[in-house]
Amino acid sequence: MLTPLCFALALLAAQGSQATQTQTTGAAQSPARDTAAEKKGTAIITGRVVNADGSKPLRRAQVSLSSTALSEPRSVSTTTAGAFEFKELPAGRYTVTASRSGFLRLQYGQRRPGEPGRPIQVADGQTIDRVEFALPRMSVITGHVTDEVGDPLAGVSIFLMQVKYFRGKRRLVPTSGAASTDDTGQFRLIGLQPGDYYVMGTTRETWTVEGDDTQRTGFAPTYYPGTPVPAEAQRVKLGVGQELAGIDLSLVPGRVATISGTVISQNGLPMTGESVSVTQEFAGPGNMSSYGFGGGTIKADGSFTIRNIAPGEYKLSVRLAGDKDRRTEMAEAVVTVTGADIDGVSLVAGSGGFLSGKVITDDGTPLTSTPRMRVSTRSVDSSAGSGRYDQENGRVRDDMTFEVSEVFGRQQISIGPLPSGWAVKSIDHEGHDYADLPVEIGNSQRMDGLTIVLTKTLPGVRGTLLDEKGQPAQGLVILFPADPALWVEGSRLIRTIRPTHAGAFQLAMLPEGEYLVAARDFIEEGSWNDPEVLKELVETATKVTLRQGQGAAAVSLTLRK
């Protein structure tokens, strides 16, 4: 007998395999492509959304369709019979997603949580029908939070955590699930996917110690079942549609601390009158929560004092706004409070670095900037400053020049949104290409003369994934650079794709270079950012060399058991 999880996913896979294709014209199927403008097409995709066991159609489910063949995603709602239809589609490769409140969001062809779906290849005039979804119910975790003597605690922030590769190592990071305890200490985490989780509670409440009102106590961030040490946290396994109760935790008290130190500007003067702020961040891939605390004012001698900080990790920051005669200055530092006071913190403000340059095309084609096109930087170091974010900083002007100010530490440079069909070929500075490697910007350093080169002719990879019997396989294709120095988290050089039902796949607009292409039945989403995961793929990977102007290189892969 199938478990609910196996049953739901087996039904999904079975129904996915039943999708039929009706060719109403003689047009051949076309590969995924980058289009300058969406053309009205003649293809159709139809299907149905039902509950996990197929007994009930789900009306008002949202079905979305995305493709490079579309200028923007499309979406429709299902009828009372759970049916949906997309008409007038141009030829292309489509990702179809279904969602409804209270149910798991699934992509077509998805076999398990954390796996991308399978794209649907559509030719001109073709009808793809029976694209069916069996949506399982979302899962729930409930519990209650108490203090060390068993009294309920209200207003505690509850985070659902998972182990993922983030900021250079595998660590516990928050996922999308979060809640707060009510007046009885109860919490309810809803809308969850099945998987392995850890539950963490944190609160900013502090109080005086009984018998000594000069001392204060707070709670450390505490992991289920009741430990402040992440390595000692107990894993919670959650099934599909499961309501898991009794995940209770008792917060661990700890002495609050005083943080003190000095702040000086980049010219060595005290930043008198400015404020040092304190924030606590819980960050992960695509997800971050931040809580602010009362800070401390900088005195005439540059000193500051911040009191009553509960155990945990915090970011101290100070920012001196600039004007027409002075650039903005800022400084940040990360401190970990374990109960003892922290003194001697030294913050030296700086105005960050400065980037400037121009955007050109490799073939001389003139481009017109848009108000949204900007050159931006992304920190690859969690301790680096956050810089300034506004619409003008980094905006590409009408003459295709740009300036980016307040750039701190190791940063990855990017530009977007780009006109349809264009991609970055290189980001050159004095013979060094920073398109796929971070640049180090020192305080007040200028990096002028950057040239961002755009192109429409980057090569790609196309191929097939078959099983050992020569039949189309349902695994995952992973492409990554042959040079481990380019295994950078979030890199555009690392790509994944699920093949179509015919076993075909295509990856477009890849910078030229040496790549490895591997196939696995399943790899958890995002784990390919971990160099250790990529290292395990090297031995069985196929090497491919991409050169500009050669088109798409052909690769044949076999998925072995």
Domains of the chain with bracketed CATH: 4-135 (2.60.40.10), 139-255 (2.60.40.10), 257-348 (2.60.40.1120), 353-455 (2.60.40.10), 460-559 (2.60.40.1120)
Contacting residues for 162 by C-beta, under 8 A, at least 6 apart: 172, 173, 175, 195, 196, 197, 198, 284
% the chain with pLDDT above 70: 91
What is the C-alpha separation between 187 and 156, in angstroms, rounded? 9
124 pLDDT band (50/70/90 cuts)? very high
Task: Give the pLDDT score at 406.
Answer: 86
Is residue 2 over pLDDT 70?
A: no
Q: Provide mean pLDDT across the span 151-178.
A: 92
40 pLDDT band (50/70/90 cuts)? confident
Q: Provide mean pLDDT across the span 26-55.
A: 70
Average pLDDT, the chain: 88
Is residue 559 over pLDDT 80?
A: yes
Is residue 534 over pLDDT 70?
A: yes
What is the C-alpha separation between 552 and 457, in angstroms, rounded? 10
15 pLDDT band (50/70/90 cuts)? very low
Task: Give the pLDDT score at 492.
Answer: 94
Q: Kind and range of the H or E element at 6? A: helix 4-17
3 pLDDT band (50/70/90 cuts)? very low
Peptide bond before 4: cis, by omega within 30 degrees of 0?
no
Mean pLDDT lowest for which of 40-49, 53-62, 316-325, 442-451? 316-325
Are β-strands 432-433 and 423-429 bridged in parallel, bridged antiparallel, or unpaired? antiparallel
Task: Give the pLDDT score at 388.
Answer: 55
Region of 109 on the Ramachandran plot (φ > 0 left; ψ -120 to 50 alpha; else beta)? left
% the chain with pLDDT above 90: 71
Task: Give the pLDDT score at 81.
Answer: 97
What is the C-alpha separation between 30 and 302, in angstroms, rounded? 66
Task: Give the pLDDT score at 389.
Answer: 57
User: Which tens digits make up the pLDDT trace of 265-310?
Assistant: 988 999 999 999 999 988 888 788 888 888 899 999 999 999 999 9
Number of helical H runs and strand E runs in the chain: 2, 43
Task: Give the pLDDT score at 37.
Answer: 54
Q: Provide mean pLDDT across the span 358-385.
A: 83
399 pLDDT band (50/70/90 cuts)? very high
Q: Provide mean pLDDT across the span 104-131.
A: 92
